[in-house]
A = this chain, B = another copy of it.
Amino acid sequence: MPDSAGNRLAVVGTGLIGGSLLLRLHQAGHEVIGWDPRAETRDLGRSWGLRFADRLDEAVADRAVVFLCGPLVALPEILSEVAKATSDDCVVTDVGSTKLGVTEAARQAGLGHRFVAGHPMAGTENAGLASARPDLLVGAPWVLCPDPAVDPVRYRALVTLVTDVFEARVAPMEAGFHDEVVALSSHVPHVLAGALAGAVARSPVREGVLSLAAGSFRDGTRVAGTPSARTADMALQNRRAVLRQINLVRSVLDELAGNLERDDADAVLSQFESSRAVRLELLSRRMSRVERRFDGATDERSFLVAVGEQGGYLTDCSVEAGTVVYRALLPEDAPVTR
């Protein structure tokens, strides 16, 4: 794959996220083609001046990069179609919310060395091409998994494309690490919102709760309003990690309940203080700029994995006279910054 400018690209599945990628790539001057299983979606895209193919194999043939943006359940089948219809030069990536499953499916489809599992962290309250916007991912974290099987040249090219064109921040996380992280940062918050709203559904004081519900209840149940099938799919797709993280939350909750039961004011206060510190850190993480150069791929992969584990982002990747140069943002106290 050459430089990020002037690539021939394809976006497969043009809902909110795929449609936003297609719009951005088109506006940035790339030769990009879309495909969606729904004819009305293809027609809407064409009415905006975007190029669409009628068939998946037409869309992906001869492409340098293919973004797979369809629903998780459709991915295994699409992966094997794409494997057949693309050349070995083509880099394939996806945007699904869990990464271990699709990494394994890509391996089985023979794409292991050229499939980079991805997860752009976009809001998903709306759906469909009609809601797409080219700036959806500007400034957003975008996970790209540096799997050991992936060719580093292809990984770097995708980092360059994502940071240059989409102006997103790349979180280079291994697939298993990513799945634990999103279980705790996204899936379990949905589960807790559901448990709180579900408790009210069963409570004899239900009507009273609805009449006095203040900010804390409204915030705590907001994502319980997400379409239920989407929340259920998300939790089920990542259920092993979700169950582990539910258990962690339960252990903290049980400890707090025990401290309340014993009327142990100091212990209750200490737990709320530890929680508050995390919340305050979320609101004011101080980041440092770091630049790292590599001549060999082994150190490079260790660096990428460390950046992800330590909560950092890649903001740029370039290759200068055989040397790979990464620029990154890292939390000020991260070991990798030292």
Contact = CB atoms under 8 A, between A and B. Distances in A.
Nearest to A123: B215
Interface in A211-235: 211-229, 231-232, 235
13 contacts: A123-B215, A181-B211, A185-B208, A194-B252, A195-B249, A198-B252, A199-B245, A216-B222, A222-B279, A239-B260, A239-B261, A239-B263, A246-B260
Nearest to A222: B219
Interface string A116-149: 0000010100000000000000000101000000
A24 interface: no
A182 interface: yes
B232 A189 contact: no
A273 interface: yes
Contacts of A207: 309-311, 331, 334
Given A191-B256, A207-B331, A224-B279, A185 B213 contact: yes
Contact of A192 (B196, B215, B218, B271): B196
A47 interface: no
B278 A229 contact: no
A190 interface: yes
Contact of A201 (B206, B245, B268, B278): B278
A171 interface: yes
Contact of A205 (B181, B253, B257, B283): B181
A134 B28 CA distance: 52
The majority secondary structure among interface residues of chain A is helix
A209 interface: yes
A210 B287 CA distance: 12
A280 B277 CA distance: 32
Contacts of A312: 211
Nearest to A171: B211
A220 B218 contact: no
B278 A198 contact: yes
Contacts of A263: 236, 239
A276 interface: yes
Interface in A261-315: 261, 263, 265, 268-269, 271-283, 285, 308-313
A12 interface: no
A222 B280 CA distance: 10
Contacts of A226: 276
B201 A216 contact: no
Interface string A56-74: 0000000000000000000
A78 to B, nearest CB: 21
A107 interface: no
A188 interface: yes
Contacts of A273: 228
